[in-house]
Structure formats: structure tokens, C-alpha cells
């Protein structure tokens, strides 16, 4: 069921949006990026139901978990158990985050086909997150990516703090492109350009994407990852679509907010993205009603309402 079947206005032909892609791959990050911010540990059985429902709702990529050390993210300490229990849907990809070679070993032992590494565009955040400098992060990721590629895995490179850094403020576009290119050269198949603190606006998004294209990076190797901290996530996504980007990260129900902030500071909600794509006539393969039902159920598990506008509106 999509927005049109709900009896609401659907696709309207538009001269201006002709350059947008015909089809978008929604890269669902709720089970990993969303849940890793939850302080209360979610049982593996609940995670598995969440993952299976997301795949059943038509999401083509469901980022499943992370092999980060359990000391840092206790929420995802059950990564191997979750991967072992997954009912894999044909054609659906289940990537996992791997922070280092030990994480890659564990991912390979769990039989994954897709992994992701999490890099930073800024010196300060690299130091705070990885306890090493901007350049040193490449020395850390290089053996991980090379071995993953040798093992036949697809590797995604997250670039965080692309549009701003809480300590440094604005981030030079050249620096972002340089970090991204080094990850691609290393063997990453796709970059996910992340607005980790949610400060970006549409012109800034266009500038960064154009800079990558000018540096010779094809659009299909770029994905965008926006947070809604300042309410800009969907506008920024729309700006990226206008330039032809066709992979968009989103989180079912907008999962991923800092628990202390209540709501609306998390990832772009997958449902709000689907609503826009339906209106734009862009294919995505997701059953909106099944997705909303999943987010309502997950909100019940977490004990607080989803911050997604579409979930709130359709759950009434």
C-alpha cells in the first residue's frame, strides 16, 4: 500500500523534478544506527522481529547490527546471535558495521556479504571516536577494507560530520572529498555522506555532492544520511535526489534520537521519505502501511511514540 492507495494525493507530473532518479534504494539503518542509541538493551528476539518485518515490508537493504566491541555499545553485543537467527529474505541485503579487523573476523564467521566502516571527515571527531587522527584512521581501516574486498564482500564507507562538526563547526568541502576519495580508493564501493549533527541545509548538500562529482566520483557511489536535529533531513534528501543521488539512508519510525531529547532528533524517518518518494513518483518497493505498523509495534517495544510525522498521522 502506498500513499495513493490511502486515498491521498499521489504522483503529480513535474517538469522540475525530471532529473530525479526513477528509483531510489532506501538503506534502512534503524536496527543498527537507531538501536545503538537506545540505553535500554532490546532483547535479540525483538530485534529479529524488527529486522524480519522491515525486510517483509520491502526494504531492499536492512543494516542489521555492528561488531563494535560490546564495551562501547552493549546494545549490539548480541550481533552474532541476531545474524544467526535472521530469516533472510531473498534479494534483501543485511550489512553490518565492522570497526576493525577483529569485527571483520566476527562478521565473516557470521556469513555476512555486506560490511560497512565508520570514518570521520574531521580531525576532532576522529580523535574523539577512534582516539587517532584523521590520517591515522585510514591506516586502521585499510587492512579491514582490503581484506573484506578480497573475501568478496561489498564495503560501504560511512563518512561522518560531512556538513559540520560539533567542535570544529563548518567542515571544508575539500577535506570531505579527500576523505571520501581515500575510502573509495581503499576499496569501498559506496560512501554514505553523513550529517551526523543535523545542521546541513539544501545548498550545502548540493555543494558537497557537486564537489564529489567534480572530483570524478560517479553518483551511484554516493548515498546520503541525514539527521533531523534541526528539521532539515527531508529537504536535504530532496536536494540530493535533484542531483541524481539514488541511495538514501533512513530509519524506520525515525529511530535514533538521543533518548534524553524525547523525539525528533534522530535519523530521517523512513516513512516520511517514502511519503515524499510516492508523491514524486519515484519507485522504492516499500509497503508504507506494513512499515508504519512495524514502527508502531517497535515504538511499543521501546515505550515511547515514534517521532515520524507519517507514523503519527497514519497510526491514528
- Interface residues with a second copy (CB under 8 A)? 3, 7-17, 163-164, 169-171, 173, 198-204, 206-207, 210, 228-232, 234-235, 237-239, 242-243, 261-265, 269, 272, 275-276, 278-281, 305, 307-310, 312-313, 316
Return the number of the residue (80 or 213) whose C-beta is nearest a second copy: 213
Cell numbers for 32, please give them: 543498527
Q: Is 188 a catalytic residue?
A: no
CA-based diameter of the chain, in Å? 54
Q: Are 98 and 153 in contact (CB under 8 A)?
A: no
Return the number of the residue (95 or 279) whose C-beta is nearest a second copy: 279
Minimum CB–partner distance for residue 20 and a second copy (Å): 8
Minimum CB–partner distance for residue 116 and a second copy (Å): 25
For 272-284, what is the HEC assignment?
Answer: HHHHHHHHHCCEC
Return the number of the residue (45 or 172) whose C-beta is nearest a second copy: 172
Q: Are 250 and 32 in contact (CB under 8 A)?
A: no
Minimum CB–partner distance for residue 300 and a second copy (Å): 16
* CA–CA distance, 281 with 11 (Å, rounded to integer): 5
Minimum CB–partner distance for residue 229 and a second copy (Å): 5
Q: How many CB atoms lie within 10 A of CB 74?
A: 12
Return the number of the residue (103 or 198) whose C-beta is nearest a second copy: 198
Minimum CB–partner distance for residue 21 and a second copy (Å): 13
Residue 264: left if φ>0, alpha if ψ -120 to 50, beta else—which one?
left
Minimum CB–partner distance for residue 92 and a second copy (Å): 25
Cell numbers for 173, please give them: 568541502
Minimum CB–partner distance for residue 167 and a second copy (Å): 10
Cell numbers for 104, please give them: 571483520
Cell numbers for 91, please give them: 534479494
Return the number of the residue (184 or 200) whose C-beta is nearest a second copy: 200
Buried b (16+ CB within 10 A) or exposed e, 256-266: bbeeeeebbbb
Neighbouring residues of 292: CB distance < 8 A, sequence distance ≥ 6: 271, 310, 311, 314, 315
Return the number of the residue (187 or 198) whose C-beta is nearest a second copy: 198
Return the number of the residue (12 or 91) whose C-beta is nearest a second copy: 12
Pairing verdict, β 154-160 and 222-226: unpaired
Please tell me which residue in 1, 8, 172, 258 is annotated as part of the active site: 258
* Strand order, beta sheet including 222-226: 61-62, 25-28, 247-250, 222-226, 190-195, 154-160, 114-120, 96-97, 65-66
Cα angle vertex 234, ends 231, 238, to 5°?
A: 140
C-alpha dihedral sign at 284, 225, 256, 50? positive
Residues acting as catalytic residues:
258
Amino acid at each position: 500500500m502506498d500513499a495513493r492507495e490511502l486515498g491521498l494525493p499521489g504522483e503529480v507530473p513535474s517538469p522540475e523534478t525530471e532529473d530525479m532518479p526513477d528509483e531510489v534504494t532506501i538503506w534502512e539503518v534503524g536496527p543498527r544506527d537507531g538501536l545503538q542509541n537506545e540505553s535500554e538493551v532490546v532483547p535479540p528476539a525483538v530485534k529479529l522481529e524488527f529486522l524480519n518485518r522491515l525486510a517483509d515490508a520491502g526494504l531492499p537493504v536492512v543494516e542489521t547490527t555492528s561488531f563494535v566491541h560490546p564495551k562501547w555499545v552493549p546494545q549490539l553485543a548480541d550481533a552474532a546471535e541476531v545474524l544467526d537467527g535472521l530469516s533472510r529474505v531473498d534479494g534483501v541485503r543485511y550489512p553490518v558495521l565492522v570497526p576493525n579487523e577483529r569485527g571483520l573476523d566476527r562478521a565473516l564467521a557470521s556469513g555476512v556479504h555486506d560490511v560497512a566502516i565508520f570514518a570521520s571527515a574531521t580531525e576532532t571527531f576522529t580523535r574523539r571516536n577512534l582516539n587517532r587522527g584523521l590520517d591515522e584512521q585510514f591506516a586502521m581501516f585499510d587492512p579491514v577494507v582490503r581484506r573484506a574486498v578480497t573475501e568478496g564482500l561489498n564495503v560501504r564507507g560511512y563518512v561522518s560530520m560531512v556538513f559540520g562538526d560539533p567542535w570544529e563547526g563548518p567542515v571544508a568541502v575539500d577535506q570531505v572529498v579527500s576523505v571520501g576519495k581515500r575510502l573509495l580508493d581503499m576499496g569501498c564501493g559506496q560512501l554514505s555522506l553523513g550529517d551526523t549533527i543535523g545542521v546541513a541545509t539544501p545548498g550545502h548538500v548540493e555543494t558537497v555532492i557537486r564537489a564529489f562529482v567534480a572530483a570524478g566520483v560517479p553518483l551511484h557511489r554516493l548515498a546520503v544520511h541525514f539527521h533531523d536535529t534541526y528539521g532539515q533531513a527531508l529537504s536535504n534528501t530532496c536536494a540530493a535526489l535533484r542531483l541524481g543521488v539514488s541511495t538514501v539512508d533512513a530509519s524506520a519510525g525515525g529511530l535514533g534520537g538521543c533518548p534524553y531529547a524525547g523525539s525528533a532528533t534522530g535519523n530521517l524517518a523512513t516513512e516520511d521519505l517514502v511519503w515524499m518518494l510516492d508523491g514524486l513518483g519515484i519507485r522504492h518497493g516499500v509497503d508504507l502501511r506494513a512499515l508504519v505498523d512495524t514502527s508502531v509495534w517497535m515504538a511499543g517495544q521501546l515505550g515511547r511514540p515514534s517521532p515520524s510525522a507519517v507514523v503519527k498521522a497514519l497510526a491514528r
